[in-house]
Amino acid sequence: MTLDAARPKLSLLLAAPRGFCAGVDRAVRIVEEALSRHGAPVYVRHEIVHNRHVVDDLRARGAVFVEELNEIPDDGRPVVFSAHGVAKGVVSEAMRRRLFTLDATCPLVTKVHREAERHHARGRHILLIGHAGHPEVVGTMGQLPDGAVTLVESVEQAASVTPPAGLPLAWTSQTTLSVDDTAEIVAALAARFPGLAGPAKDDICYATSNRQAAVKAVVGRGADLVIVVGAPYSSNSVRLAEVAERAGARRAVLVQRGADLDPAVADGCAAVGLTAGASAPESLVQEVIARLATRFDLAVEEVRVAEERIEFRLPPALSRSPGAMAAE
């Protein structure tokens, strides 16, 4: 009997797009380029992206991850702000200390920051849809004075939130939320506050929307189990698992890499979906495929719902050639 004949057949539906988005790719390239040009150490405030594999790889190459600027010595080394963005107070402190900073904030997060500032300048109180304590939420709230933003985490909170009286209202959101959940929260807020202003386009980023749509597509193709490659503290990865189950998958499991997966979880399944959060590299997806192949005779098919060709530029200090920088 051949090896393939000894293994049960399994249809593996690869969601596409999946994995790294343009903002994550840019953030990782910023740290890599800083290490290449300036050597180690390069300090990074907070994890550059929410993925242990990526962080450990950069740490091995000389990146030093810290939570606050007071952990960084005044030694002239580069300091990178993570893709999630930082509060204005952090930027001000870095400027006061004359730190050499490189801002890896995702441009789509920066867009949310600017929207919040514009609403505030027009006298509006901001209702921010997001998760308390998430670095992106902390950074967005930190763009405005204390009390200028009220966080709304759920439909239940939307039904009871009490913003300051007498002020016009606007909403904005964390970029990595569930598209469907956010729409429900916005609808609940709009029903209570008819004059509620919002962004010209939803703040949930294109990559989050595309990955959630791709998960729904693989479930629609018959995947009753969906495997999500991503960190348990990655908002967009956790949302993918939730979306899969709400779309009708019998079960969704979140793993950080192939070694974390018990392939027996797919026993009895005719089709399994596989995706990855926006901060998970494709190499980890391939690890999961290899892990499943130890137990199943896989028939792999990609289910694509969108093409992504967006690329974000590096900061000016890194986009110039090293020679040009030295000549300045």
Give start and end residues of each alpha helix (H) in 167-321.
179-192, 206-220, 235-246, 282-293, 316-319
Q: What angle do CA 203, 204, 208 make, to 5 degrees?
A: 155
Q: Residue 78: is the preceding peptide bond cis (ω within 30°)? A: no
**Marked catalytic residue, from 47, 115, 136, 287:** 136
Active-site residue flag, 308: no
Q: Which long-range contacts (CB under 8 A, 24 or more apart) does 305-308 make?
A: 305/16, 305/17, 305/210, 305/213, 305/214, 305/217, 306/17, 306/210, 306/213, 306/214, 307/17, 308/17, 308/21, 308/22, 308/206, 308/207, 308/210
Burial grade of 215 (CB within 10 A; 0-12, 13-18, 19 or more): buried
- 233: tokens are 């503290």
304 three-class SS = strand
CB 210, CB 308: distance < 8 Å: yes
Please tell me the distance from the alpha carbon of residue 100 to that of residue 88, in angstroms, as a whole number: 16
Give the Cβ contact number of residue 254 at 10 Å.
Answer: 19
Please tell me the distance from the alpha carbon of residue 139 to that of residue 197, in angstroms, as a whole number: 21
CA 100 to chain centre: 25
Q: What angle do CA 260, 66, 101 make, to 5 degrees?
A: 120
CA 80 to chain centre: 17
Q: Point out the residues that are catalytic.
A: 136
